[in-house]
C-alpha cells in the first residue's frame, strides 16, 4: 500500500516538474526569438517599401499633349429647293393648268390626270430623298450618325531625337487648338515632325477602326486616356486653346534615356483605314495618309508624347513593359 502511494506521488511530481520546465523554456525561447523576428520583419518591410518607392520613381515620367476637337453630331441637310412647287404647282414645273381638266375642259381629263399623278409622285420622291429616307444606302442615318475612322499611329524613337521633342514643345506653345483649321495644322505639323526624323525610328504601330459617330467618340476617348495613363505628369499641354505648363517633379533614374514615344490619334469623318506598319515604308505611308486629313473632315486630334521634361528618361525595360504592342521596324 505504501509503495503504491509513493509511486503515484513520484509520477505526479515528475509530471509537474516536466510541465513547469516546458513552460519556462518555451517562454525563454519566445522572448529570445521575438526581438530577432521583429527586427527581421522590420528590415523586410523597409526593404519592400524602398523597393516600391524606387520602382515608383523609375516609373514616374512626364508627358506632353496637343489637340482638341469634338464629335458633335452634324445637322441634317435642308430639303432641296427644287423639290418644292414653283408658281404654286407640284414639282417638275407643272402648275395651275393641272386643275383645268377638273373644271370642264373636256376630252383631255384622262391625259391630264395621268400627268398630275406623275407630278405628285415626283414631288413625293424628291421630298423623301431630301429628308434622308430615299436614295438607298444609309439615308438619314448617314446624315445624323455618319461613319468615322479613329486612327492611331505610335512611333518609338531613339532618345537622340532631341530636336523632335523641341519641335513638339514649340508646336504645343504656338498652336491654335480651339479651331478646326488650327487642329488640322497640328496634325500636319505633328506628322511632318515624325517624317523628318526617320533615322530615329525604331518601333511603330498603327491601327484604324471604322464605326458610327456615337461609338467613335467613346473609342477615341478610350485610346487617349490609355496613352495618357502611361505617364504620371502632364507637364505640357495645349488642348482646346487651354495652355498649361508645369515643372516636372520626376526623379532621374540611374538608367539612361533610350527612347521617346510619340502617339498621334485622329478621328476623321468617313472611311480612311491606315496600312499595317511592318517597316519604315509602311510607317511613312501611314503618317502621310493621316496628316492629309482636311479641317472639314477632321473631328478630333491628339498628339501625346513621353518623356517631355528635360532630364526625364524612358529606358528599354520601361518601353517593353509600357508599350508591348510596338513592333520593331
Residue 173 forms part of a structural domain: yes
DSSP for 158-176, written as a single string: ETT-HHHHHHHHHHHHH--
Residue 162 forms part of a structural domain: yes
Same domain, 111 and 199: no
Residue 158 forms part of a structural domain: yes
Extract the C-alpha cell encoding 199.
Answer: 533615322
Same domain, 108 and 204: no
How many domains is the chain partitioned into structurally? Answer: 2
Which residue range forms the structural domain that includes residue 120?
88-131
pLDDT at 321 (0 to 100):
94
Same domain, 96 and 71: no
Same domain, 245 and 127: no
Residue 139 forms part of a structural domain: no
pLDDT at 145 (0 to 100):
84
111 cis-preceded (ω within 30 degrees of 0): no
Same domain, 227 and 256: yes
Residue 83 forms part of a structural domain: no
pLDDT at 87 (0 to 100):
43
What is the value of pTM for the model shown? 0.64
Same domain, 114 and 214: no
Same domain, 162 and 280: yes
Angle 233-236-237 from CA coordinates, rounded to 5°: 105
pLDDT at 133 (0 to 100):
44
pLDDT at 297 (0 to 100):
95
Side-chain half-sphere of 16: how many Cα atoms within 13 Å?
A: 6
Residue 39 forms part of a structural domain: no
pLDDT at 257 (0 to 100):
65
Round to whole Å and give the CA distance between 311 and 33.
Answer: 48
Same domain, 150 and 182: yes
Residue 50 forms part of a structural domain: no
Query: Count of CB atoms within 10 A of residue 17's CB?
Result: 10
Averaged over successive runs of 10 residues, the pLDDT of the chain (329 residues) comes to 54 59 50 44 44 44 93 54 42 44 50 66 60 45 79 96 93 95 97 97 97 94 96 94 78 66 97 94 97 95 94 90 95
* Cα-based distances in Å from 283 to 81, 121, 154, 184: 47, 53, 9, 20
Same domain, 217 and 95: no
* Residue that is last in its domain, among 67, 99, 131: 131
Same domain, 196 and 240: yes
DSSP for 71-90, written as a single string: -PPPPPPPPPGGGS-STTSB
pLDDT at 70 (0 to 100):
86
Same domain, 206 and 260: yes
Same domain, 153 and 269: yes
Amino acid at each position: 500500500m505504501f509503495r503504491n502511494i509513493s509511486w503515484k506521488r513520484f509520477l505526479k511530481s515528475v509530471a509537474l516538474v516536466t510541465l513547469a520546465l516546458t513552460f519556462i523554456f518555451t517562454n525563454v525561447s519566445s522572448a529570445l526569438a521575438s526581438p530577432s523576428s521583429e527586427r527581421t520583419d522590420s528590415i523586410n518591410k523597409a526593404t519592400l517599401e524602398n523597393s516600391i518607392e524606387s520602382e515608383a520613381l523609375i516609373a514616374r515620367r512626364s508627358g506632353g499633349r496637343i489637340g482638341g476637337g469634338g464629335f458633335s453630331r452634324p445637322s441634317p441637310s435642308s430639303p432641296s429647293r427644287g423639290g418644292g412647287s414653283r408658281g404654286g404647282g407640284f414639282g417638275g414645273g407643272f402648275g395651275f393648268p393641272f386643275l383645268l381638266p377638273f373644271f370642264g375642259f373636256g376630252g383631255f381629263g384622262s391625259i391630264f390626270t395621268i400627268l398630275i399623278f406623275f407630278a405628285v409622285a415626283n414631288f413625293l420622291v424628291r421630298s423623301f430623298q431630301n429628308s434622308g429616307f430615299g436614295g438607298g444606302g444609309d439615308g438619314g442615318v448617314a446624315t445624323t450618325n455618319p461613319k468615322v475612322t479613329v486612327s492611331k499611329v505610335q512611333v518609338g524613337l531613339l532618345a537622340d531625337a532631341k530636336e523632335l521633342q523641341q519641335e513638339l514643345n514649340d508646336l504645343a506653345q504656338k498652336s491654335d487648338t480651339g479651331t478646326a483649321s488650327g487642329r488640322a495644322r497640328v496634325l500636319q505639323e505633328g506628322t511632318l515632325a515624325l517624317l523628318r526624323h526617320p533615322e530615329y525610328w525604331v518601333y511603330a504601330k498603327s491601327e484604324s477602326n471604322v464605326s458610327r459617330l456615337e461609338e467613335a467618340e467613346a473609342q477615341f476617348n478610350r485610346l487617349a486616356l490609355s496613352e495618357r495613363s502611361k505617364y504620371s505628369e502632364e507637364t505640357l499641354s495645349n488642348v482646346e486653346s487651354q495652355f498649361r505648363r508645369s515643372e516636372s517633379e520626376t526623379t532621374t533614374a540611374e538608367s539612361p534615356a533610350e527612347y521617346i514615344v510619340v502617339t498621334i490619334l485622329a478621328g476623321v469623318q468617313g472611311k480612311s483605314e491606315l496600312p499595317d506598319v511592318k517597316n519604315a515604308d509602311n510607317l511613312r505611308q501611314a503618317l502621310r495618309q493621316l496628316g492629309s486629313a482636311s479641317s472639314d473632315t477632321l473631328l478630333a486630334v491628339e498628339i501625346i508624347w513621353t518623356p517631355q521634361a528635360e532630364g526625364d528618361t524612358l529606358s528599354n525595360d520601361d518601353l517593353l513593359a509600357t508599350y508591348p504592342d510596338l513592333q520593331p521596324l
